[in-house]
Structure 1
């Protein structure tokens, strides 16, 4: 795979080899006077990001803004480490995420609860971001980074409450992080664009996610730039897939929970994961996608996290 890849419209993507997987998580480079990065992934990805910048002949000292769509570690976990190489950069984050980048203690605790003994290898180190280098953006706020390029920040919860998406005026594109799902590598899906929702713990809400989808739809963009992974020039098809898959994810989880009312949380998560795997495996075959080892590896990883988020969502819903 070409690395980094020129996407046109003065946008490049650097593969961060998140979790040692190709085309798992990407960092977008906006080649403007105010040089801007969107997403960093976790700290083990930072050497790949710096190598990509070097191949683009970009000195990290030139970077002005580093934007994270939200503070989940596969998007923002490495930002503190990256700043050590980017002395002139400020970090732009959702208002709800600011305090967690300044003091990542709770982020670390939450990730250790999910990932256990594998935490260090996946995410360590998670370094705090100095408060004087943090900038927050609220819904509708803008940032001009070039003479003909303005970024507009949109509050888009559903995947997480600390999530914004970014509209780019020059490409008429939108950087959606995880709000409207994951785009799987085209070379592993027979050229068919597969978009699945990502229902991670612990702030997932399907109704809120669909409201954010409506907000993004109204932008009438030409391109969606997914955090995982890469762009699509078929935004309407991506929206339709999220609308189709999301209720199926929730339905599988509700059915499993109803059938196993006495199980503990871990048992419910495992049962939801098995149900999602069966449903998605059948669904992608119906789309004309031939299952393969690499695609299955990506999907299995995502569905394990999705199962946790769905179980958590239904537990909270039951208590309301």
Structure 2
């Protein structure tokens, strides 16, 4: 069990060990007057969150809000189970996501299609959330969690249509979910600052993603709190890298979709091409090719490849 990390005053990060991997998905804890969690990961992560809260001296009964940036299972799959431990909490969600938390049958079906027989081990149980315990927040919404802190919500599609981001004025930071990509603290410790876009299926849209990031830029942020994983204090570099890799992702995927008509094979080829490019980029910066981060990178790139193939087949009239 890793101890929660303090990122700034009243902002802590618990490692959720999503997919049994350290530093893949995290839960942020705002220890304000109304204690607030941001993201829960999937249900197998809930014991880690409860243990982390215990370390911080926070009782689940003290939690007022559980905020999920979007309803993908690695961010919100455990929200219903977590809520059973938090008698006084409400789950805060995007207007387009609320009905899927109240009735998760479509989420479950979608995840089973992707993960097959691994579904139970990775995600069970997915617990319905009673509608009276859901709170909807959308563009321009605010949530006062203490005298000095009011969170502000921005509608930020691109990764998913049911995605908002949460501005934290006291730290001039944004809880960006997956809209502004993935940060790899494992590489940061090796002296390599590295960010990638996350283009998972099935609502990925590059134009919307770039537009959402341009809104982040307008805020003049000093911090990004990523869904995957941790905090960066260099937002301009994050945006630069994510935009640059997004172009690469699209170009490489387009080439594959033009040449290969079978979507399953497209995903396989896109994954390999992107993974090879990333590996070359990192080994050129001195990272040994035996570094354990490559396992995580392959996983992330494979999910992104699925979204790229889906998007390009939809927009270029490729075959499914």
Give the TM-score of the pair, scaled to structure 2.
0.96
Distance 2:283 2:215 in 1: 31
Matched, 1:71 2:64: no
Distance 1:34 1:171 in 2: 17
What's the CA shift for 1:211? 0.4
What are the ranges of 5 or more consecutive residues in structure 1 without an aligned counterpart?
A: none
What's the CA shift for 1:187? 5.2
Matched, 1:252 2:262: no
The answer for the alignment partner of 1:30 in structure 2 is 30
Question: Where do 4+ consecutive residues of structure 1 move more than 3 Å?
Answer: 186-189, 286-293
Distance 1:276 1:28 in 2: 30
The answer for the alignment partner of 1:83 in structure 2 is 83
The answer for the alignment partner of 2:21 in structure 1 is 21
What's the CA shift for 1:284? 2.4
Contact 1:36 1:66 in 2 (8 A): yes
**Per the alignment, in what secondary structure is the counterpart of residue 41 of structure 1?**
coil
RMSD: 1.4
Q: Deviations over 1:213-242 (max 9, x none)?
A: 001111111110001000011111101111
Distance 2:45 2:282 in 1: 29
Matched, 1:160 2:160: yes
Q: Deviations over 1:262-313 (max 9, x none)?
A: 3x21111101111111111112234444444420011011011011000000
Contact 2:186 2:293 in 1 (8 A): no
**Per the alignment, in what secondary structure is the counterpart of residue 65 of structure 1?**
strand
The answer for the alignment partner of 1:276 in structure 2 is 274
Equivalences for 1:110-189 in 2 at 5 Å?
Answer: 110-186=110-186
When residues 89 and 10 of structure 1 are mapped into structure 2, their CA distance, relative to the original with a 3 A threshold, is: same
Equivalences for 1:303-318 in 2 at 5 Å?
Answer: 303-318=301-316
Distance 1:314 1:244 in 2: 18
Aligned residues: 318
Q: Deviations over 1:100-133 (max 9, x none)?
A: 0000000000000000011000001101111000
Give the TM-score of the pair, scaled to structure 1.
0.96
Q: Deviations over 1:11-33 (max 9, x none)?
A: 00000000000011000000100
Distance 1:254 1:247 in 2: 11
Distance 1:138 1:188 in 2: 33
Distance 1:96 1:302 in 2: 25
Q: Deviations over 1:129-163 (max 9, x none)?
A: 11000001110111111111110000000000000
Matched, 1:106 2:81: no
Q: Deviations over 1:165-213 (max 9, x none)?
A: 0000111110000001000123576132210000000000111100000
The answer for the alignment partner of 2:92 in structure 1 is 92
Distance 1:276 1:210 in 2: 20
Equivalences for 1:46-65 in 2 at 5 Å?
Answer: 46-65=46-65
Distance 1:298 1:105 in 2: 28
What are the ranges of 5 or more consecutive residues in structure 2 without an aligned counterpart?
A: none
**Per the alignment, in what secondary structure is the counterpart of residue 120 of structure 1?**
helix
Contact 2:4 2:14 in 1 (8 A): yes
